[in-house]
Amino acid sequence: MSTDAPAAASASSTIQRDSTGRLRHLITLEGLSREELTALLDLAQFYVRAPGDFPARDKSLAGHTVANLFFEPSTRTRVSFELAAQRLGADVVNLDMTSSSRAKGESVLDTIYTLQAMHADILVMRDAEPGLPAYVARHVAPHVCILNAGEAHLSHPTQGLLDALTIRQHKPDFTQLRVLIAGDIAHSRVARSAWQALTTLGVAELRIAAPDDLMPAAGEFAGAVRYDDLDRAIEDVDVVMTLRIQRERMGAARIQDERGYHQAFGITAARMRRARPDAIVMHPGPMNRDVEIAGEVADSPQSVIQQQVTNGVAVRMAVLATIVRNVHARRQLQ
């Protein structure tokens, strides 16, 4: 690891805007207005295609170069961004940062400067540590955009957007909805970004349910109602989002094994019957079947998990196209 390790980002929401207030990077959903979120969802919806149809395709990113820098590996998110960029006509390069440059002792910032000097102008980053995207955003040239593809437990903005889009496709009026996020909330960037999006979009009630030791600190998730009993939490909700649980976290939650977790915090068919009859079930993937979610629930008609994946590509196309449009707008104003 280099010596220029970034401090935790406190001002991601400020740094991601240019002097005209336009989005320049996407590091967090914090601070995005309802109008901004709606515009991104609308553009994403424009890019959605039915299964079996050809994917949407245009030239919004022609001439641009997207570099995927994954310091934490994630095949699924990397491929989603890669396809989104390809389908908008960008050049794409993949850098597996888990091994290469850090091994050579080069500072992350020098790696970024190198890519920037090669005219890579959109950098998609994932990192297990907090702070890198904002840190990098503070240092790149004016024409370079940083997209956060997952940052520690803090932020995963395109996931939050795809979750909001998926909900909207089934339940268009957020102000009528009760949404439950269940599982390892404390360590979940998915939960934090979903909370930010859904709160701004005006969800009627947001519930979070977690084992005691996986509940976030008191100051977090303002406005959310907290439950430690999933059976009560799920009652009458319209949307159930469950989260991936990592085996090593169960111990911290004083849960013995996967079976025990499933009993206490798994989304089962029985539990789903406590929710609204037309409730939808969501999972960010990859799933541990029969741990945080019963296989039969994941495959049930209420499940919109594959739709989330389709929406993921569409949302990333919308973000890429918006960010690039803002770069061009900014230039014309100067």
β-pairing, 178-182 with 239-242?
Answer: parallel
Is residue 301 close enough to count as binding a second copy by CB under 8 A? no
Is residue 76 close enough to count as binding a second copy by CB under 8 A? yes
Of 115 and 297, which CB lies nearer to a second copy in the complex structure? 115
- What is the spatial distance between Cα 195 and Cα 306, in angstroms, rounded to a whole number? 21
In sequence order, the 6+-apart residues with CB closer than 8 A to the CB of 66 are 81, 82, 85, 90, 91, 92, 93, 120, 122, 123, 124, 320
Binding-site member from 82, 127, 151, 163 for a second copy (CB under 8 A): 82
Structure tokens at 175: 């102000």
Is residue 252 close enough to count as binding a second copy by CB under 8 A? no
Return the residues of window 127-146 that contact a second copy according to CB under 8 A: 141-143
Of 38 and 65, which CB lies nearer to a second copy in the complex structure? 65
From the list 7-15, 130-138, 190-198, 307-315, the region that binds a second copy by CB under 8 A is 307-315
What's the min distance (Å) between Cβ of 285 and a second copy? Answer: 6
Is residue 58 close enough to count as binding a second copy by CB under 8 A? no
What's the min distance (Å) between Cβ of 178 and a second copy? Answer: 26
What's the min distance (Å) between Cβ of 72 and a second copy? Answer: 12
Is residue 231 close enough to count as binding a second copy by CB under 8 A? no
Binding-site member from 8, 34, 49, 270 for a second copy (CB under 8 A): 49
Return the residues of window 86-125 that contact a second copy according to CB under 8 A: 86-87, 91, 93, 95-96, 99-101, 104-107, 110-111, 113-120
Q: In the complex, which residues of this chain contact a second copy (CB under 8 A)?
A: 3, 49, 51-55, 57, 63-65, 67, 73, 75-76, 79-80, 82-83, 86-87, 91, 93, 95-96, 99-101, 104-107, 110-111, 113-120, 141-143, 285-289, 306-310, 312-313
